[in-house]
Amino acid sequence: MPFLQCIEPSCRVTFETTTRLYTCERCGGLLDVIYDVSVLAAEELKRRWDARLGSKAAADRSGVWRFRELLPEAEPDQIVTMGEGNTQLFDAPRCAEYAGMQRLTFKHLGLNPTGSFKDLGMTTGVTQATRLGAQSVACASTGNTSASMAAYAARAGMKAVIFIPSGQIALGKLSQALDYGATVVQIDGDFDDAMRLVREVTKDSPLYLLNSVNPFRLEGQKSIAFELLQQRDWCVPDRIVVPGGNLGNSSAIAKGLQELLEIGVIDRLPKITIIQANGANPLYQLWQRRQSGEPEPQLLSLKGASTLATAIKIGNPVSWPKSLRGLLASDGLVEQVSEQEIADAKAIIGRDGIGCEPASAVTLAGIKKLVAANSIDPHEDVVAILTGHVLKDPDYVVNYHRGELRYTDKQGEQYLLASNYASQWLHVAAERSAIEAVLPF
Ligand code: F0G
């Protein structure tokens, strides 16, 4: 039977998965869900997971529950699924060329039911809420978590309360949460304030907390690693590149990979590479201090995080110890990129016919920077994770392509970003001759 365990080496206390807990009761540390992997056989697991691809049962068709041998227990009628996962791998030749790579693959998690990777964690999070008998759920969010939680809560017949930062959430995401019937609480503060407050509010209330501090969220998100490898016939890439915000996703992917390694489904770990925006870079700063020899640095929270990639505008990421654990186990890397680098990379991802929201584009920007610095070999087999759909933040796209994308940094300085890869947007009289005069071909 799976159980919960505190990740702190000096604690390691365990709890049953039916205990309603978000962090360790004894020391406040983060919790892992632990499985007895010694009873699982790699070949048998791969056979079962492949067989389910042809099944019509809802749990088999879910790109999360297909891998249920490595998920917390749930009765079939407790599983709240919207057929999440099953997202494409895309070969991206223009992006590869832009980054100086021979080839580059994206796994596009923006193709999930609510348009982001959060659905993978919400199916397990809301299923656990059902298992515990919760009738209402809550989260703080930069937008995608709230959109996803609102949808899954609605499917489960639960009430959803979302805490969002004031004026900093992309409209596509806010509209989703409203559409799915959530109660929206806008906080006069940033995401870190919202996160702190939702943790306080849910401590002694019937509201069940569904941020990624909740270990059951990460159990679903780790299926990114499972599905990605299954799609590649278990052939391990050299590197997986992922954006870093609250650091739940990088933690989850690393945990999934570690489990596959322990069972023997894979024989090595891809290097986890996390990219942050340079105005919201607390993990990058920690990594730099570590590289310069500081023993066991702790994450210092960053006041007033700032980036147009609002999904990752986070100064005090909750899951950093798990994320750091994954980086160290896989000989990973952390990089930061500028607003200009993000905006241009996003336009290039669009040019490959793929598209993504701004936060996802830090992956390509980071790969380009790491190739230029000789930290990534151009021949490496790299999979980058696109986390959200292009339609999440249309304002950003339109402003970039009409040359009006403005960024205000932490010091309050405003910059107009260059639209280096703008598509043509022509305005003409309603006449055939006027159109023919401007058409480039
Ligand atoms: N990309 C997108 C599109 C996101 O929405 C987020 C996080 C991230 C990347 C970063 O992932 O937090 O696991 O490191 N969004 C959260 C939210 C914070 O509230 O929707 P992370």
Classify residue 133 by its DSSP letter.
Answer: T
Range 279-294 average pLDDT:
96
**CA of residue 192 to ligand 1 center, whole Å:** 13
Ligand 1 atom nearest 212 alpha carbon: 13
pLDDT in tens, 318-339: 999 999 999 999 999 999 999 9
Cα separation, 214 vs 139, in Å, equals 10
Cβ of 115 below 6 Å from ligand 1: no
pLDDT band at 440 (very low <50, low <70, confident <90, very high): confident
pLDDT in tens, 9-57: 999 999 999 999 999 999 999 999 999 999 999 999 999 999 999 999 9
Cβ of 247 below 6 Å from ligand 1: yes
**CA of residue 141 to ligand 1 center, whole Å:** 8
Range 233-258 average pLDDT:
98
225: its two tokens: 């690693």
Residue among 142, 161, 320 whose CB has most ligand 1 atoms within 8 A, to mutate: 142
pLDDT at 378 over 90: yes
Please report the pLDDT score of residue 189 as a whole number.
94
Distances (CA, A) of 40 to 228, 366, 389: 20, 37, 35
Residue among 168, 173, 211, 312 whose CB has most ligand 1 atoms within 8 A, to mutate: 312
CA 164-225-153 angle, to 5 degrees, is 35
**CA of residue 219 to ligand 1 center, whole Å:** 16
pLDDT at 441 over 80: no
Whether the predicted model's global pTM rises above the 0.75 cut: yes
Please report the pLDDT score of residue 361 as a whole number.
99
Please report the pLDDT score of residue 276 as a whole number.
98
Residue with the smallest CA separation from ligand 1 atom 12 is: 246
Q: Rounded mean pLDDT of the chain?
A: 97
Please report the pLDDT score of residue 168 as a whole number.
82
pLDDT at 156 over 90: yes
Residue 34 pairs with which residues in a beta bridge?
3
Range 229-241 average pLDDT:
98
Ligand 1 atom nearest 356 alpha carbon: 3
Residue among 218, 249, 363, 396 whose CB has most ligand 1 atoms within 8 A, to mutate: 249
pLDDT band at 167 (very low <50, low <70, confident <90, very high): confident
E runs forming strands in 190-247? 208-209, 239-243
Please report the pLDDT score of residue 316 as a whole number.
97
pLDDT in tens, 63-95: 999 999 999 999 999 999 999 999 999 999 999
Collect all residues with Cβ–Cβ distance below 8 Å to 89 and sequence separation of at least 6: 105, 106, 107, 228, 231, 232, 383
Dihedral angle computed from the Cα positions of residues 302, 308, 310 and 314, in that order, rounded to the nearest 10 degrees: -10
Collect all residues with Cβ–Cβ distance below 8 Å to 180 and sequence separation of at least 6: 147, 150, 151, 153, 154, 160
Burial class (CB in 10 A: 0-12, 13-18, 19+), 75: exposed
Provide, rounded to the nearest whole percent, the portion of the chain with pLDDT above 90: 97
Q: Which residue in the block uniquely carries the two structure tokens 């992997």?
A: 37
Ligand 1 atom nearest 211 alpha carbon: 19
Collect all residues with Cβ–Cβ distance below 8 Å to 243 and sequence separation of at least 6: 249, 274, 275, 276, 309, 311, 312, 359, 360, 362, 363, 385, 387
pLDDT in tens, 173-184: 999 999 999 999
